[in-house]
Amino acid sequence: MKKVVVTGASGYLGGKLCNSLHRQGYSVKVIVRPTSNLSALPPSTEIVYGDITDFSSLLSAFSDCSVVFHLAALVEPWLPDPSKFITVNVEGLKNVLEAVKQTKTVEKLVYTSSFFALGPTDGAIADENQVHHERFFCTEYEKSKVATDKIALQAASEGVPIVLLYPGVIYGPGKVTAGNVVAKMVLFYFFLCVLFYHMLILKLDHLRLQCCSSRIVGFSACLD
């Protein structure tokens, strides 16, 4: 049985991902803070307490795992101290990358970025070659995701087995979080498609994969 580890498991997508991995037969480990709400996680989940800003806790969490899902991020429209986006999102990713490099069992790192990292499309349909023009940023969160995108792509060029996912705004049933503020306004299928991409990437070798589409489809259509 392959063992995987998930950062950001107490978040909306992270919790759903852990349950989906569990149903697929994976042994699931998570790294969470002591104050995290773990009620959405499967009972069999292995818990490691730590934080992506704490490098030593990442080494402990990644030990004996073959796949790392890095979902943890600071997702807020605004904060009085914008440097927190750099500390968590940028420096956190650097820690994750270094921990992956030092953990010999890790075969793949799946990094959940954001469509914000791709920037405006100026009316065109974005694909996996889209890059942010960096002429302006709407939020400090967006700025941090562009910075992490560069770091992740550089790591890939250096041989780190990383895959980048770019979900849009995530909708679905369940608790409302900062990253899921309009959850009650749309259908279940939007969320299922994003979750599907996280499961699908276990079987693919793509470097970048958008979790969006130019048309609305259901989960079953993604299986064809």
Instruction: Domain ranges for the chain, please list them.
Output: 3-222
Question: Rounded to an integer, what distance in angstroms lies between the CA atom of residue 36 and that of residue 33?
Answer: 5
pTM for the predicted model, two decimal places: 0.81
Which two three-digit tokens encode residue 157?
């060029």
| Percent of the residues in the chain that have a pLDDT greater than 70, as a whole number | 80
Residues 6+ apart with CB under 8 A from 113: 145, 148, 149, 152, 164, 165, 166
Sequence-ordered list of residues with C-beta below 8 angstroms from that of 140, at least 6 positions apart, any chain = 78, 79, 82, 85
Instruction: Give per-residue pLDDT as tens, 133-168.
Output: 888 898 999 999 999 999 999 999 999 999 999 998
Residues 89 and 130: beta-carbon distance below 8 Å: no
pLDDT at 123: 81
Rounded to 10 deg, the angle between the 12-23 and 188-200 helix axes is: 60
Pull the structure tokens for residue 21: 């991995």
Decide yes or no: CATH 3.40.50.720 for domain 3-222.
yes
